[in-house]
């Protein structure tokens, strides 16, 4: 099977011993036009890949900031068709940033997994992250995603046994998503000794699969701490908060996102030193 | 994990952080359900503390009026006033056996919250209950009862501010504190909750079957219960699943009528999807977003139905009907005035459907689960009618 865009990037990060940044934005928050501009801005700022959140009415793994972003996006009329069209346009405009679509099961599953995966791959989505889909339930999604060369990304959490982590590694392509601590999105993660040893344990179990860590990473200093045992650092809530604080003008929101991501990138350090 | 589904429904659609606690729970449940000392402890709690068995009462006047033989399973007489205590005591005892000290729960009508607060007080556990702001207002007495028993009530102000949002918040709290035990209050959510909750409520159906055989001399033609998440209904149904001659009917909330879109009739107005950890019938839009629901009863005001009900419906073993707000209120009045029983608005839906369909049901022997008592609903009921003597009296003047 050919490498997809996400795998190409994450494998080269791993092969070259470099670290990467994966910012998250909620699709349709501030309008789909803004989201399109944001994807370009993330790419310009040097992000290695990104997560594009599909808003859901009942996001049980999200804290207040991402809940509010989903509510705003849904109130603005966001739907999966609109998100797919926007991604297609991003690719048509030359956007080359690998995109992981992050969605609770129901909005995508509603279309039927084969249909959802085929359409996602067709418009230029590279991976799926489904926070309420454990490996146990992942079979149908993996089959549908594999058929169209779309990566599926599963999770490891501090509560996960070694056996569970191994199964998540085996089921994932692109990277393994490591939840840095127990809890919902947006609450700060402290990279203390126990968090670092958990990350180290996961990255050992992941063997060749790149590892991404997220949940509560909000500054260049956090990024710097998080990258010790992770190939990719994910920043979600902090970026969404920055964008939302920048105000109603798309240009201001996009500029705020770009400068924040550039700042976060400094936490990765020199490109040649891991 | 072992079998996680009922037919194609159910499953474990949970964040990875919760998978270990769910596996641990399944393991503990499989061991303890076979453990004689756990069974003895639970039996003692249900019998000597909660007041089981609850009676089966023949509704004499209503039966005569409706032309059928109507029997009421009196879960309203269980301690705390609803069937919910069966599950709350069972799960809290289970949690305690697992060494858990802290209990999380959601509640809609407040009955599960009260039951959990009660079980926690009795068993010495810390208790936090998540409840939507709208439900806090309409079920005020239950909030006060929970607090009096030492529980902390967290008011949920997200979304529709009802049961669905309380479950969202309780699940977020559990993700943040996976060492706690989450006492899910209905037969829904990720495996193993639907099975555990149904197991603890099976006692309703077991007793009903024995009682109807002893008191009426035969099985019923029909077993009827209201269905929100579906815990009281699955408890009753499990007693009669193997009796092919007994038809099983679940009654959902028809709200202001299906045509208005303001209802919670998942089988009539919904489609299968994933919410709160399981694949089941739910109310959703074309894009998989969960729809708002409406019901006069907080306990039925929920967009998804328990997965075992979805499987029973698919297999043709049970059928699912609905009663509107108005029909439920009429049933509330009928039971109050003809039988001297103030039923919960949830349970009133089951009787409301029987009253509407009484021509079809003529001559039949029917067991209906009267899942709770209606004291909690007085402010809702009184808002729909007037003319109480209390309205003419100024309390402060009389008491001063």
Mutate to test the interface with A, among B3, B12, B14, B15 (most CBs of A within 10 A): B15
> Would you give the DSSP letter of residue B373?
B
SS3 A45: coil
Which neighbouring-strand residues pair with B319?
Answer: B249
DSSP A95-152: ----EEEE--HHHHHTT-HHHHHHHHHHHT--EEE-TT--GGG-HHHHHHHHHTT-EE
The answer to whether B13-47+84-193 and B53-81+202-384 have equal CATH topology is: yes
Which neighbouring-strand residues pair with B284?
Answer: B290
B175 in A contact zone (CB under 8 Å):
yes
What phi, psi does B304 have (nearest 5°)? -130, 155
B84 is catalytic: yes
Confidence (pTM) = 0.95
Q: Which residue from B158, B175, B287 is facing A184, i.e. has the nearest CB? A: B175
Does some domain include residue A133?
A: yes
Total domains in chain A come to 1
- Residues in chain B with CB shorter than 8 Å from the CB of A79 are 286-287
- B369's tokens: 């689960």
What phi, psi does A41 have (nearest 5°)? -65, -40
Instruction: Give per-residue pLDDT as tens, B187-234.
Output: 999 999 999 999 999 999 999 999 999 999 999 999 999 999 999 999
SS3 B182: strand
Cα–Cα distance, B252 to B282 (Å, whole number): 12
Mutate to test the interface with B, among A108, A134, A176, A202 (most CBs of B within 10 A): A134
Full pLDDT tens readout for chain B, 400 residues: 889 999 999 999 999 999 999 999 999 999 999 999 999 999 999 999 999 999 999 999 999 999 999 999 999 999 999 999 999 999 999 999 999 999 999 999 899 999 999 999 999 999 999 999 999 998 899 999 999 999 999 999 988 899 999 999 999 999 999 999 999 999 999 999 999 999 999 999 999 999 999 999 999 999 999 999 999 999 999 999 999 999 999 999 999 999 999 999 999 889 999 999 999 999 999 999 999 999 999 889 999 999 999 999 999 999 999 999 999 999 999 999 999 999 999 999 999 999 999 999 999 999 999 999 999 899 889 888 877 887 777 666 676 6
Q: Identify whether the C-beta of residue B81 lies closer than 8 Å to the C-beta of residue B376.
A: yes
Does some domain include residue A272?
A: no
Domain B13-47+84-193, CATH 3.40.50.620 — does that match?
A: no
| Domain around A250 | 5-267
User: What number of helices (H) and strands (E) belong to chain A?
Assistant: 12, 9
ipTM of predicted complex: 0.95
- B141's tokens: 């007495």
Return the CATH number at A177: 3.20.20.70
How is domain B53-81+202-384 classified at the architecture level of CATH?
A: 3-Layer(aba) Sandwich (3.40)
B274 in A contact zone (CB under 8 Å):
yes
Longest CA pairwise span in chain B (Å): 65
B106 is catalytic: yes
- Are residues A109 and B274, on separate chains, in Cβ contact within 8 Å? yes
- Residues in chain B with CB shorter than 8 Å from the CB of A216 are none
- Residue B285 zone, left/alpha/beta (φ > 0; ψ -120 to 50; rest): beta
B284 in A contact zone (CB under 8 Å):
yes
Size of interface A-B (CB pairs under 8 A): 115
- Residues in chain B with CB shorter than 8 Å from the CB of A131 are 15
The HSE-up count of residue B102 (CA atoms within 13 Å, CB side) is: 10
- B91's tokens: 């799960």
Does some domain include residue A263?
A: yes
Domain range summary for chain B, segments of one domain joined by +: 13-47+84-193, 53-81+202-384
Cα–Cα distance, B199 to A171 (Å, whole number): 34
Instruction: Give per-residue pLDDT as tens, B141-184.
Output: 999 999 999 999 999 998 889 999 999 999 999 999 999 999 99
DSSP A234-271: EE-HHHHHHHHHT-S-HHHHHHHHHHHHHHHHHTT--T
- Residue B166 zone, left/alpha/beta (φ > 0; ψ -120 to 50; rest): alpha
């Amino acid at each position: 099977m050919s490498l997809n865009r996400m795998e190409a990037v994450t494998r080269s990060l791993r092969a070259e011993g470099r670290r990467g940044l994966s910012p998250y934005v909620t699709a349709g928050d501030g309008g789909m036009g803004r989201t399109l501009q944001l994807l370009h801005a993330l790419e310009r700022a040097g992000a290695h890949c990104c997560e594009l959140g599909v808003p859901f009415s009942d996001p049980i793994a999200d804290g207040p900031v991402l809940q509010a972003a989903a509510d705003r996006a849904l109130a603005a009329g966001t739907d999966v068709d609109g998100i797919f069209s926007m991604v297609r346009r991003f690719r048509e405009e030359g956007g080359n940033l690998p995109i992981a679509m992050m969605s609770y099961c129901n909005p995508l599953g509603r279309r039927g997994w084969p249909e959802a995966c085929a359409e996602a791959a067709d418009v230029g989505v590279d991976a799926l992250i489904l926070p309420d889909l454990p490996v146990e339930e992942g079979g149908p999604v993996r089959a549908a995603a594999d058929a169209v060369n779309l990566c599926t990304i599963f999770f490891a959490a501090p509560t996960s046994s070694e056996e569970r982590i191994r199964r998540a590694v085996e089921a994932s392509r692109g990277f393994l998503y490591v939840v840095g601590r127990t809890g919902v999105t947006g609450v700060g993660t402290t990279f203390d000794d126990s968090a670092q040893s958990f990350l180290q344990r996961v990255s050992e179990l992941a063997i060749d699969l790149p590892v991404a860590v997220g949940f509560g990473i909000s500054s260049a200093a956090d990024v710097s701490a998080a990258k010790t045992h992770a190939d990719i650092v994910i920043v979600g809530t902090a970026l969404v908060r920055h964008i939302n604080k920048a105000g109603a003008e798309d240009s201001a929101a996009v500029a705020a996102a770009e400068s924040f991501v550039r700042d976060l990138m400094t936490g990765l350090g020199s490109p040649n030193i891991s | 994990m072992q079998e996680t589904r009922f037919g194609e429904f159910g499953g474990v659609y949970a964040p990875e952080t919760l998978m270990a606690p769910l596996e641990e729970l399944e393991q503990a449940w499989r061991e303890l359900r076979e453990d004689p000392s756990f069974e003895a402890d639970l039996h003692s709690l249900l019998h000597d503390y909660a007041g089981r068995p609850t009676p089966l009462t023949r509704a004499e006047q209503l039966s005569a009026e409706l032309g059928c033989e109507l029997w009421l399973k009196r879960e309203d007489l269980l301690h705390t006033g609803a069937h919910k205590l069966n599950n709350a005591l069972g799960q809290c005892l289970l949690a305690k056996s697992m060494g858990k000290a802290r209990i999380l729960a959601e509640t809609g009508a407040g009955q599960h919250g009260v039951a959990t607060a009660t079980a926690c007080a009795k068993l010495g556990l810390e208790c936090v209950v998540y409840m939507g702001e709208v439900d806090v207002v309409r079920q005020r007495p239950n909030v006060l009862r929970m607090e009096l028993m030492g529980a902390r009530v967290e008011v949920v102000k997200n979304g529709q501010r009802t049961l669905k949002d309380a479950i969202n918040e309780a699940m977020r709290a559990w993700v943040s504190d996976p060492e706690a035990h989450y006492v899910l209050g209905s037969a829904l959510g990720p495996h193993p909750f639907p099975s555990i909750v149904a197991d603890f409520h099976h006692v309703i159906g077991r007793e009903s079957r024995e009682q109807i055989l002893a008191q009426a001399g035969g099985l019923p033609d029909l077993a009827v219960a209201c269905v929100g998440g579906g815990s009281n209904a699955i408890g009753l149904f499990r007693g009669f699943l193997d009796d092919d001659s007994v038809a099983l009917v679940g009654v959902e909330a028809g709200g202001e009528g299906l045509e208005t879109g303001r209802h919670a009739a998942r089988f009539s107005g919904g489609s299968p999807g994933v919410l709160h950890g399981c694949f089941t019938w739910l109310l959703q839009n074309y894009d998989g977003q969960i729809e708002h629901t409406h019901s006069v009863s907080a306990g039925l005001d929920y967009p998804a139905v328990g997965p075992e009900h979805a499987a029973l419906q698919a297999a043709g073993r049970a059928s699912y009907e609905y009663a509107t707000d108005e029909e439920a209120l009429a049933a509330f009045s009928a039971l109050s005035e003809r039988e001297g029983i103030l039923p919960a608005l949830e349970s009133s839906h089951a009787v409301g459907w029987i009253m509407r369909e009484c021509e079809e049901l003529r001559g039949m022997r029917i067991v209906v689960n009267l899942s709770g008592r209606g004291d909690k609903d007085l402010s809702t009921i009184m808002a729909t009618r007037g003319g109480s003597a209390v309205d003419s009296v100024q309390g402060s003047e009389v008491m001063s």
